[in-house]
């Protein structure tokens, strides 16, 4: 018994040493330096973006379902991480990685993460997060002011006012959108003398009390999938997110929105619909375009509904004064969501839900005895999440280190990169670009010049000609697009195999070929390390592989073309 106790005691002693910064921090610095070298290698490494290992091979590496029993030395675990994980990670920071909204990040972010982990504050409560609670409120006010531009006095009264909240920091953009829609739901079915509010009584009771049969959310077809997810979670139902078509530049069609509102505002079969929110997008995920926010604000006001702007992607671009005109009307929104791991260049992940009215978030306030008491100053009263890290230190410090000035330069560079890529693709001839890149995203496809020329001629023919002919031409165009769709899917896969660069792929109805769905490639151009030369290399790779694949497709195309010739169209 005694012996056993001794063993545990000495083990406990060893464990305790892991829990403090060793008296002399040599050990920590030794590991730190080793890690720095590892990180350095990772950044310098050329070659593949995704590592060539296949997914089934990766499965084999991580298929141990039993927990580790015996302790392993830190250095051995670090080298396991190096060989099994770092080696097979995606180089999202590579300047050749232009496929998703992930860029290189400034290296000081790593220092900030060290501070966050060391302090290990829990933002839920002032007893576990003292200065950091105030930093968060200051940071939220910065973005609130950037977006809503309320008066000096407003901020003086509210920046550190613990009775209200200008916004809440969330784990990501989905949660930020969810927070905004939660507030919208509370506002749609508020408490009164009789009804305790939807939050307390639930959706069914709320609809019944207010005489509705459903609540809907209106957003363009470019709306992010997190909105459907939110509608599901909030008990509204995914089918009650109503999609409004967009124009060819991916902006919501205002006439169609008005038409839809008129239609759903009518009673039908005793069914009455509550419009819970209208959502504008400031930077669509797929194309980076911005809805006409001014008009959406006006319509929302007419309808008397909550106006939310999903600016998870684009919101930070308001830091450039000259680009503000793109967002005209955003200051009239009831709520706006922004992500810091996107255009604030912070590591994964942090979202921000901001509310023009400082009292809106009070509708969701909650409390408990042991944590976040009612009259406390705890930030946790206003958040969906409970325990939260001090993530806001990253954008707070980054805004100081880079300044509005620094971010302006980064965004101008991003805009230039997008224009450059568009110009290169247009100049090459074998590509078709689809959108005017407002916020650094370009949508395009590979299409050999001859095919494109044919499509142009066919398009012109549909403007004249008799009905039967137009029908036939339209069918031909569809067949050609189907072929080019298959070509682009294959091209995307080949680019993944090539692995020297990365772009993403999606399908869009908002092209000149609508309503046909067109497979497009998607480049997100925000990495400041992506130079013009790198873009040239990427275009050239696309073109080479595309032409190579075309050899396989051209016989099929010739068949369609002979059909065209038969009609004498081309």
Residues 272-291 interacting with a second copy (rule: CB under 8 A)? 285-286
Is residue 6 part of the contact set for a second copy (CB under 8 A)? no
Helix 254-265 vs helix 293-303: crossing angle, to nearest 10: 10
- Site string (393-412) toward a second copy, x via CB under 8 A: x---x-xxxxxxxx--xx-x
Q: Which is nearer to a second copy, 140 or 539 (CB)?
A: 140
CA 14 to centroid of chain Cα atoms: 44
Is residue 183 part of the contact set for a second copy (CB under 8 A)? no
Distances (CA, A) of 542 to 369, 454, 492: 60, 21, 9
Position among 96, 98, 137, 165 found at the interface with a second copy (CB under 8 A): 137
Is residue 173 part of the contact set for a second copy (CB under 8 A)? yes
Cα–Cα nearest to 219, from 244, 237, 256, 240:
244
Q: Which is nearer to a second copy, 50 or 258 (CB)?
A: 50
Distance CA 426, CA 233 (A): 43
Query: What are the CB-based long-range contacts (under 8 Å, 24+) for 296-300?
Result: 296/252, 296/254, 296/257, 296/329, 297/329, 297/332, 297/333, 299/254, 299/257, 299/258, 299/261, 300/334
Is residue 512 part of the contact set for a second copy (CB under 8 A)? no
Sign of CA dihedral 370, 376, 381, 386: negative
Question: What does DSSP say about strands 335-339 and 351-355: parallel, antiparallel, or unpaired?
Answer: antiparallel
Is residue 426 part of the contact set for a second copy (CB under 8 A)? no
Q: Which is nearer to a second copy, 3 or 466 (CB)?
A: 3
User: Cβ-count burial of 409 within 10 angstroms (0-12 exposed, 13-18 middle, 19+ buried)?
Assistant: middle
DSSP character at residue 351: E
Angle among Cα 322, 323, 328 to the nearest 5 degrees reads 115
H-helix or E-strand spanning residue 321: none
The answer to whether the peptide bond before residue 15 is cis (omega within 30 degrees of 0) is no
Is residue 456 part of the contact set for a second copy (CB under 8 A)? no
Position among 6, 45, 47, 80 found at the interface with a second copy (CB under 8 A): 80
Position among 307, 355, 382, 390 found at the interface with a second copy (CB under 8 A): 390
Q: Residue 6 is encoded by which pair of tokens?
A: 């001794």
Cα–Cα nearest to 341, from 134, 109, 119, 142:
109
Q: Which is nearer to a second copy, 53 or 428 (CB)?
A: 53
Q: Which is nearer to a second copy, 12 or 423 (CB)?
A: 12
Q: Which is nearer to a second copy, 409 or 560 (CB)?
A: 409
Q: Tell me the closest approach of the beta carbon of residue 327 to a second copy, in angstroms.
A: 16
Position among 243, 248, 328, 349 found at the interface with a second copy (CB under 8 A): 349
Position among 62, 163, 426, 548 found at the interface with a second copy (CB under 8 A): 62
Site for a second copy in 225-244 (CB under 8 A): 225-226, 228-229, 231-240
Q: Tell me the closest approach of the beta carbon of residue 461 to a second copy, in angstroms.
A: 31
Position among 1, 193, 325, 370 found at the interface with a second copy (CB under 8 A): 370
Helix 131-148 vs helix 393-428: crossing angle, to nearest 10: 40
Is residue 497 part of the contact set for a second copy (CB under 8 A)? no
Q: Which is nearer to a second copy, 131 or 547 (CB)?
A: 131
Distance CA 510, CA 508 (A): 5
Report whether 171 contacts 124 (CB < 8 A): no
- Site string (90-119) toward a second copy, x via CB under 8 A: x-xx-----xx-xxxxxxxxxx-xxxxxxx
Site for a second copy in 539-568 (CB under 8 A): none
Q: Looking at 169-177, 328-336, 456-464, 477-485, which segment touches a second copy (CB under 8 A)?
A: 169-177
Q: Which is nearer to a second copy, 152 or 467 (CB)?
A: 152
Position among 172, 331, 358, 360 found at the interface with a second copy (CB under 8 A): 172
H-helix or E-strand spanning residue 150: none
Q: Looking at 133-141, 257-265, 270-278, 327-335, which segment touches a second copy (CB under 8 A)?
A: 133-141
Q: Tell me the closest approach of the beta carbon of residue 565 to a second copy, in angstroms.
A: 35
Sign of CA dihedral 256, 257, 258, 261: positive
Strands (E), 416-536: 431-433, 441-446, 504-508, 518-524
Q: Tell me the closest approach of the beta carbon of residue 491 to a second copy, in angstroms.
A: 16
Interface size with a second copy, residues (CB under 8 A): 188
Report whether 289 contacts 222 (CB < 8 A): yes
Is residue 245 part of the contact set for a second copy (CB under 8 A)? no
Q: Tell me the closest approach of the beta carbon of residue 555 to a second copy, in angstroms.
A: 29
Q: Tell me the closest approach of the beta carbon of residue 109 to a second copy, in angstroms.
A: 6
Task: Say which residues have a Cβ less than 8 Å from residue 342's Cβ, sequence separation at least 6.
Answer: 101, 173, 312, 313, 316
Position among 190, 202, 429, 465 found at the interface with a second copy (CB under 8 A): 202
Q: Which is nearer to a second copy, 307 or 390 (CB)?
A: 390
Q: Which is nearer to a second copy, 201 or 470 (CB)?
A: 201
């Amino acid at each position: 018994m005694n012996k056993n106790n001794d063993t545990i005691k000495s083990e406990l002693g060893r464990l305790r040493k892991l829990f403090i910064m060793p008296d002399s921090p040599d050990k920590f610095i030794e590991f730190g330096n080793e890690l720095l070298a590892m990180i350095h290698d990772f950044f310098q490494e050329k070659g593949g973006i995704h590592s060539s290992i296949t997914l089934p091979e990766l499965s084999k590496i991580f298929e141990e379902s039993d927990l580790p029993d015996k302790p392993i030395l830190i250095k051995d675990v670090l080298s396991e991480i190096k060989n099994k994980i770092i080696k097979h990670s995606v180089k999202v920071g590579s300047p050749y990685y232009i496929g998703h909204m992930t860029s290189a990040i400034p290296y000081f972010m790593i220092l900030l993460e060290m501070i966050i982990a060391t302090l290990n504050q829990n933002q839920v409560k002032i007893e576990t997060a003292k200065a950091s609670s105030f930093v968060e409120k200051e940071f939220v006010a910065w973005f609130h002011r950037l977006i809503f531009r309320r008066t000096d006095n407003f901020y003086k009264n509210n920046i550190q006012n613990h009775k209200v909240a200008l916004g809440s920091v969330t784990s990501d953009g989905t949660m930020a959108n969810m927070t905004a829609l939660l507030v919208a739901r509370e506002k749609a079915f508020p408490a009164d003398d009789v009804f305790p509010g939807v939050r307390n009584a639930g959706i069914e009771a709320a609809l019944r009390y207010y005489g509705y049969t459903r609540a809907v959310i209106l957003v363009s077809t470019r709306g992010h999938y997190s909105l459907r997810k939110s509608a599901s979670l909030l008990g509204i139902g995914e089918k009650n997110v109503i999609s409004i078509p967009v124009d060819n530049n991916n902006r919501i069609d205002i006439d169609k929105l008005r038409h839809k509102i008129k239609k759903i505002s009518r009673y039908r079969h005793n069914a009455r619909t509550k419009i819970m929110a209208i959502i504008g997008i400031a930077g669509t995920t797929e194309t980076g375009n911005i809805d006409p926010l001014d008009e959406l604000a006006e319509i929302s006001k007419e309808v008397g509904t909550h106006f939310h702007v999903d600016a998870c992607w684009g919101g930070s671009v308001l830091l450039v004064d000259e680009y503000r005109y793109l967002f005209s009307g955003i200051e009239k929104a009831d709520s706006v969501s922004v992500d810091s791991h996107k255009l604030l260049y912070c590591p994964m992940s942090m979202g921000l839900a901001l509310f023009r009215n400082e009292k809106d978030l009070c509708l969701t306030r909650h409390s408990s005895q042991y944590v976040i008491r009612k009259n406390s100053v705890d930030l946790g009263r206003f958040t969906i999440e409970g325990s939260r890290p001090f993530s806001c230190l990253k954008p707070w410090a980054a805004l100081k280190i880079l300044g509005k000035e620094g971010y302006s330069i980064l965004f101008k560079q991003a805009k230039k990169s997008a224009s450059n890529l568009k110009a290169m693709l247009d100049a090459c001839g074998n590509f078709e670009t689809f959108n005017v890149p407002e916020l650094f995203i370009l949508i395009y496809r590979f299409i050999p010049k001859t095919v494109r020329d044919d499509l142009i001629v066919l398009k012109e023919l549909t403007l004249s000609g008799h009905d039967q002919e137009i029908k036939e031409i339209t069918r031909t165009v569809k067949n050609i697009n189907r072929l080019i769709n298959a070509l682009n899917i294959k091209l995307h896969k080949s680019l993944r195999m090539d692995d020297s660069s990365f772009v993403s792929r999606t399908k869009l109805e908002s092209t000149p070929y609508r309503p046909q769905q067109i497979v497009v490639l998607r480049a997100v151009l925000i990495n400041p390390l992506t130079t013009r030369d790198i873009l040239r290399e990427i275009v050239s790779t696309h073109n080479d592989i595309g032409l190579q694949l075309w050899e396989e497709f051209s016989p099929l195309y010739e068949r369609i073309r002979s059909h065209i010739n038969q009609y004498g169209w081309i």
